[in-house]
A and B are shown apart, each in its own frame.
Chain A
C-alpha cells in the first residue's frame, strides 16, 4: 500500500521548522506565532484547529509569504519541496503562488473580484502560469468548473461573482485553486460563511479532491468535527503555539494536552445532556498576544497547573511515549491520569415544565417589497413569505429551539414576537395577551417586560457609548423593577454576580469587554426585567468554542432558576440537541418538523431534518453518520418553490406531487411530533437513524 512506504523516503511538500511570526504595531513587536513545526507529506491532509486569535490563519498567510506591511517571519525555516521559501525572490514566489501552492479563503464573495467575469478570473491562472492561449485557458476553466460539480459551467463563466450563490462562489474559488494542479492547497475556514447543508457539499468536494488529485492539504478550521471529516493529521493551536500534534485518531481518542481536552469537553457531542452531562467550559480567557504568561500559555486556565513546573520559561514539545508522531507541549502530561481526570460537570435534576406560556397559532408574516418606488412612482410589488402558518407552543421553564438555515424565517418570527413587526395573519398569545397585531409601542410595560431578547452579535449587543451598568440600569428603571438609585445599583450588582462578572464591570464600557463578557452582559440585561419568555437569537454562534459552553450553561442556569421559557434560535443542531426540550425545524418560512428533542433526532425524519442531521460535522470518532448531500442551493425566500418548499432539493422528491401540492401534516406519537411531508408515514418510520454509535470491531 502507498501509505506503508516509509515517510523518510519522500521529500515533504511543506516543512515548517521553528517558524516564528510577528506583527509590528504601535505597541511594538507582537509575536503572533512562536516555534511552529509542521511536516506535510505528499497526499497528506493536515488540519490546524484553534480558537480565534490562536494564530492559525497567520500560519496560512505566512506559508503564502503574504504578511502585509506589518507582519514578518522573524525566525525559523519554511521549506517548500525542500527549498526555503524565505530566500526566494519575488519573481520565484510569484511563480509558485497559484501554481504550486493555492489557497481557498473564508469569504468567497469578498475573495472574487466584483468587477470581473468569473471566466476571466479563472482563465488568468493558466494564462499567466503556463502561457496557454486564451481559448485553451477558457476551455480548461470551464472543464474545472464541471469538475467541482457546478451546473452549467458556461453560464457561470460569463457571470459576475454577485450573480451566483455563496456555495457556488466557494466552488469557483476551489476551481481557481485547482486549475494549475497545485502540490499544496491551503484551505482557510472554507465553509465558515456557508449554511450547514451547503457546507456538507463543499466538504464532500474537498475530500474527493484529495482522492482524485492527490493534493496535499492544510485545512484550517475552528470546528473539530470538520477536521475529523477531512484530515489525516492535526495540529491544535493555542495562543500562538502548537500545543498538540498527531494523527487525527490519536489526538481525538487519546488527547494528551489539557487544552485539547478542555476543547472537547466544551463542545456538545452526542451524549452530552444539559441535565445529566452538562458541558464543562474552560475557565478564564485567551491571553492577549503581548500579555502571555511566562511558561505555558495555557497555564492560568489549566486545572493541572503547578507552580515551578508550568511557569518556568519556554516549553518544548514532547513526544508521547510509543508514538513519535504524537507530540504535546505540556510538562505534566505523563503525570496526569487521563482516564480518571475527565472533566465532568455536575448532574442536575431535570426541570418539570409548567403551563403553556406562549402559543403560536397559524401565524403568518408576509412582506411586501416595492421595487424602491420614489414618491408617486410605486414599483412592482413582490411578496416575501417570511413565515407561513406557524403553529407551536412553549411551556413554562421549557426550552424550545427553532432551527433552520439562513432565510428560513426564524429572525422574522422573533421580530413579530418582540413587536417590531405585525403578523399578517394568525395569533400569537403570551398568556392571554394577543401579540400578533400589537406592535411594541402599543404594548404596556408589563407585557414588554415579560418578553425579552438575547442577541446574536456580541459586538453589537451593547451600545459602545454607554457604560455596562448604565445599560442594565435603564432596563430596571424602564420596567419599574426599582426606581431609587441605590436600589437600582444593588440590582445591577446582583445581576453581574449572576452572570459571573466582577462588580466593577458596571463602570466599564463595552469596548473593554471580550465577546463572551459582552454576551454575559446581554444576558443580564435580558433578565433584568424578570421576563417570562426570553428569546435567544443565536446567542453563542459568534463566540469561541470554549466560551460558548460557559455562556450556554449560564443561560441554562438562569433559566432553570427563574423558570423562564427560553426560545432558542439557532442553526447549530449540536447545541440544540444539548439544550432543547422541544425542537422546531424551519425551512423557507415553514415548520417542516417539530417534536421533542429525542423525536427529532431519531426516525421518522422529515427529509430535510434527515439531511440537516447528516450535514452537521461531529467531532467524535466513535460516531457513525449516514452521508446525505443535498443538491442545489437554498432557494430565495422571495421566490419559493411551488408545492413543498423543500421539493427542489429533496432526495425523496415525487414529481407531480411534491412540486405541485402543499404537503400535509403527519402526526406521530403522542407528544406532538409533526412532520410536514407527502411521504407515506410508514416510509418515514422505516428510515435509518442518521447518527449511530460505531459498532466496535471486537
Chain B
C-alpha cells in the first residue's frame, strides 16, 4: 500500500516535470520573446530597436542564457512562490491566481455538493432494475442533459431564468461583493452538464453488479432485498463511481472556462482565457501548471482511493 502510494507520487512528479518542460519550451520561441519585449517596451520602441540593442535587452532580462538554465530558474521561482508577472493586469501572478482560484473553488464546492448525491442516487436507481421504466427515464434524461453543451445550457438557463423570469442576474461578475444569487446559474449549468455522465457510470457499475453471480448468491441465500442492495450491491457498485467523481475535478477545470467567461465570473478559467487572448504568457504558464497540478493530484487521490476501497487490491 505505502509502496504503491510512493510509486504514484513519483510518477506524478515526473508528469509534472515533463508537463512544465513542455509548457516552458513551447513559449520559448523568438516570437514570444519579441512579444515580451513589445509588452514591456511598447511596439514602437521595439521596432526602432537595433538588433544589437534588442540582444542587449535580452541579456538584461536573462533571456539569452541557455534553455535549461532558464528553465531551472523558472522552476526555482515557481517553487519559491514567484509565479511571474502579469503585464496585462500589471500585478504579480501569485496573489492574482490565488484570488481567482478561491473563486473557482467556491463554484466547484457547490457543483460537487449538488452533483454527487444527485448522480449517485439516480445512477443507483437506474442500475438497480436494468431495463425498467425508471431506468429508461433516468437514462434518457441523463443522455439528454449531457448532450446539451455547457454553453447551450448556460444560454437556456440565462434566457429562461435571467432574461425571462428575471429570478437571477444575467451576469455573475460579483461587482458588489459576493452574492449568492449570482452563483446559482453557473453552478446549475455545470451540474446539469456533468451529473449525467457520473449517473450513467454509476448506472453501468450498478447494473453490472446486479447481474453478477454473487448477487444471485445473496438473493438465493434468502436475504431481504434491502440487505442485498445496501450491503452486497452498493459496496461493489460504488467503487467505480468514486474514482470517476474525483476525476471530475480535472473535467471541472475545463468546464469552468466557458461558464466563467459566459457569466463573467472572476475565476480561474476566465483569467486563463484572458491571459491567452492578450497574450500574457507568464499568467498562461502559471494557470496551466496549477491546472495540471490539480489534475494530477486528483488522479493520485482517485488511484489511492480505488486501491483502498477495493479489497481485492488492498489485501492482495
State the A residues within 8 Å of B (CB). Answer: 64, 66, 69, 94-99, 102-103, 105, 107, 110-116, 124-125, 128-129, 159-160, 162-163, 173, 176, 374-375, 377
Contact = CB atoms under 8 A, between A and B. Distances in A.
A294 to B, nearest CB: 35
B47 to A, nearest CB: 48
A176 B315 CA distance: 23
Nearest to B7: A374
Contacts of B131: 69
B164 interface: no
Interface stretch (B51-59, B105-113, B208-216, B274-282): B208-216
A37 B11 CA distance: 63
Residue of A94, A103, A113, A176 ringed by the most chain B CB atoms within 10 A: A113
A66 B219 CA distance: 9
A96 B222 contact: yes
Contact of A66 (B10, B220, B236, B310): B220
B224 interface: yes
Contact of B220 (A97, A124, A129): A97
A102 B310 CA distance: 29
B221 A111 contact: no
Contact of A114 (B130, B216, B236): B236
B286 to A, nearest CB: 28
Contact of B312 (A125, A128, A162): A162
A375 B14 contact: yes
Contact of A99 (B213, B214, B222, B227): B222
Interface residues of B, number: 29
Nearest to B310: A115
B232 interface: yes
Contact of B219 (A97, A102, A115, A375): A97
A113 B219 contact: no
10 contacts: A69-B130, A97-B220, A98-B222, A111-B217, A115-B236, A116-B231, A125-B221, A128-B223, A163-B315, A377-B10
B10 A110 contact: no
Contacts of A96: 222
Interface in B99-154: 130-131
Given A162-B312, A374-B11, A377-B10, A111 B223 contact: no
Given A98-B223, A124-B223, A160-B312, A374 B213 contact: no
Given A128-B223, A128-B227, A105 B232 contact: no
Contacts of A110: 212-214
A116 B232 contact: yes
Nearest to A376: B10
Contacts of B176: none
B232 to A, nearest CB: 5
A112 B236 contact: no
Interface string B167-204: 00000000000000000000000000000000000000
A99 B223 CA distance: 10
Interface string B28-67: 0000000000000000000000000000000000000000
B232 A374 contact: no
Given A94-B224, A96-B222, A102-B220, 11 more contacts: A69-B131, A97-B219, A97-B222, A110-B212, A113-B236, A115-B236, A115-B310, A124-B227, A159-B315, A162-B311, A176-B221
B235 interface: yes
Contacts of A69: 130-131
A329 B235 CA distance: 49
A160 B214 CA distance: 13
Contacts of B214: 110-114
A114 B312 contact: yes
A102 B220 CA distance: 7
Contacts of A105: 213, 216-217
B10 A160 contact: no
B212 to A, nearest CB: 7
Nearest to B227: A128
A81 to B, nearest CB: 16
Residue of B7, B212, B221, B223 ringed by the most chain A CB atoms within 10 A: B221
Contact of A95 (B220, B222, B239): B222
Interface in B2-32: 7, 10-11, 14
B218 interface: yes
Contact of A64 (B220, B232, B239): B220
Contacts of A163: 315
Contacts of B231: 116
Contact of B232 (A113, A125, A129, A160): A113
Contacts of A124: 221, 223, 227
Nearest to A380: B3
